[in-house]
Structure 1
């Protein structure tokens, strides 16, 4: 069990998402940075989909009520356990009574705290992810609050196994995953269904603009500022299915990138879609940072997942070796 001692708004329990429920109008939810959640679980020997805590407002503090292994992945904060530093992308073991404190990240937007055995809350529609709009999943369908006591499952690894090692973060380990500088994120996209409704001039503006992530962004979607993508003539469209990564353009012309908590359907024209291999990077982008887009083919988008999958497989294999020492 762990007890929440400090948690500003919007910190929630998430796993890899609620798949198979979109036909009921239920969005996927799940971790904004799925690679960080799966990586933390790999360090601990959990299933990739084990639930953890997505922390996006700081400082965050919790107390361990029992001895437990845990990992911190995702963004790069200043963190301490019982007063001693804990690096990012690291797993270790806490003793009953230890306090874990996570400060504002120096880089990235979201920290993932995973625990041996995973956060053990009930599954709703096949997932433990918190769905804030509908008010279910996670802990009573809400954000975490001071005084909450959260159950943690039994670790799959024996108590005597080693838990004091880490891994290189994916933006370092995966070739091409880094950014050109600290404030410019390069994201790969494919054209989407209504791309050709926009004039060549507007299309060129979409690819050449340095887009700023608005402060009005959240888990539902990232609103972008920097240019206006206006159709030559208004278009009436029926609502259609929407998934995370789809870039829609409302009548005002400022694009919105749909994210984990996006609605399941929408009627705005779809300009493009972020490839799956870059969704984890987008999930670590902070409001106020800048994005530039580059176009890739479907074949390139599929191939781009290979380094991501290889990174996670190597991390899990290495962690298994460390725990066996």
Structure 2
């Protein structure tokens, strides 16, 4: 059992989401930074999809009521367990009565906390993720509140002494606090050719700022006005996380984890799946630059991300075996 001590409503229980229900009007949902939550779980011997906590509003504090192990990934922030400081992307034990504290991020926007065994909550449509729009999943379909208590599933492994960490080279760009524009790779979307040549050039040739209209559903951007070659009316059609739509204002909107399942605005591009974590870790005010790539590059980037996960699991299993001994 864990108890929430300090939190905010944007913080919620998440797993890797509930794909396959778009036709029912249910978004994919799940962690905004799927890679961060998956690695946190894998460090503990959990399945990558085990339920944990997404922290979008810091500081965050919880108290353990049982001895267990935790992993914290995602944003670069000061972390402490009891009186012990912990590095980011690190898994360690926490004793009953000890408090975990996550301070405001130095870089990045969202932290992820996984627990040995995962959070023990009912599944809805095969997932424990919180869908705040629909009011289901997670803890009664809402964000976390002070005093909430969450049960844990039994741990599958005895956690190795000394802790366990992970390091991803592609995350090193967060170390400078995203001082420069964040490069996000994109593929052209269905209506790309309907935009004027000037709009196409501005989309990839200029920088875009994330406005304060930013949440798990999507980010509204500020920058050049993107115009069409001629007026266009579209029937509502399916959209997915990463879709970049352009409403009549000419200012793009990026659909994210809790993306609407359909929409009728023209689509200029789609962020590749392997780069969605970059958006999850981009705070309000951060600047983006869109980098056009080929489908082959997009596929290879996703393959590399999945291979890294497999390699990490193999290394983790070796550490766990050595810890247990022959």
TM over 0.5: yes
Distance 1:199 1:77 in 2: 42
Note if contact 2:106-2:177 (Cα within 8 Å) is conserved in structure 1: no
Task: Say whether 1:42 aligns with 2:42.
Answer: yes
Distance 1:243 1:125 in 2: 18
Bigger shift: 113-122 or 297-306? Answer: 297-306
CA, structure 1 residues 177+171, in 2 after alignment: closer, same or farther (shift >3 Å)? farther
User: How far 1:321 sits from its partner (Å)?
Assistant: 2.1
State the SS of the aligned residue for 1:277: helix
Superposition pairs for residues 200-211 of structure 1, below 5 Å? 200-211=197-208
Equivalent of 1:240 in 237, 249, 253? 237
* Counterpart in the other structure of 1:169: 168
User: How far 1:180 sits from its partner (Å)?
Assistant: 11
Equivalent of 1:187 in 166, 179, 184? 184
Measured on the aligned residues, the alpha-carbon RMSD in Å equals 1.7
* Counterpart in the other structure of 1:218: 215
Residue by residue over 1:212-241, the C-alpha shift from the partner in whole angstroms, topping out at 9 and shown as x without a partner, is: 011111110011101111223321110010
Distance 1:179 1:147 in 2: 35
* Counterpart in the other structure of 2:74: 74
* Counterpart in the other structure of 1:300: 297
CA, structure 1 residues 120+103, in 2 after alignment: closer, same or farther (shift >3 Å)? same
Note if contact 1:44-1:163 (Cα within 8 Å) is conserved in structure 2: no
Distance 1:186 1:305 in 2: 16
Alignment TM-score, normalising by the size of structure 2 = 0.95
Residue by residue over 1:2-41, the C-alpha shift from the partner in whole angstroms, topping out at 9 and shown as x without a partner, is: 0000102300000001111111100111000000000001
Residue by residue over 1:164-210, the C-alpha shift from the partner in whole angstroms, topping out at 9 and shown as x without a partner, is: 1211135347xx99989523100110000011111111111111110
User: How far 1:260 sits from its partner (Å)?
Assistant: 0.3
Distance 1:15 1:129 in 2: 5
The count of aligned residue pairs is: 322
* Counterpart in the other structure of 1:12: 12
CA, structure 1 residues 163+44, in 2 after alignment: closer, same or farther (shift >3 Å)? farther
Distance 2:301 2:70 in 1: 30
* Counterpart in the other structure of 1:128: 128
Residue by residue over 1:58-105, the C-alpha shift from the partner in whole angstroms, topping out at 9 and shown as x without a partner, is: 110000000011100011111111121011100001110000011001
* Counterpart in the other structure of 1:56: 56
* Counterpart in the other structure of 1:85: 85
Alignment TM-score, normalising by the size of structure 1 = 0.95
Distance 2:68 2:174 in 1: 32
User: How far 1:311 sits from its partner (Å)?
Assistant: 2.0
State the SS of the aligned residue for 1:215: strand
User: How far 1:322 sits from its partner (Å)?
Assistant: 2.2
State the SS of the aligned residue for 1:224: strand
Distance 2:96 2:177 in 1: 43
Equivalent of 1:265 in 254, 262, 268? 262
Equivalent of 1:317 in 306, 314, 319? 314
Superposition pairs for residues 115-154 of structure 1, below 5 Å? 115-154=115-154
Note if contact 1:179-1:185 (Cα within 8 Å) is conserved in structure 2: no
State the SS of the aligned residue for 2:212: coil
Specify every segment of 5 or more residues in structure 2 that has no aligned partner in the other structure, as ranges: none
Note if contact 1:52-1:115 (Cα within 8 Å) is conserved in structure 2: yes
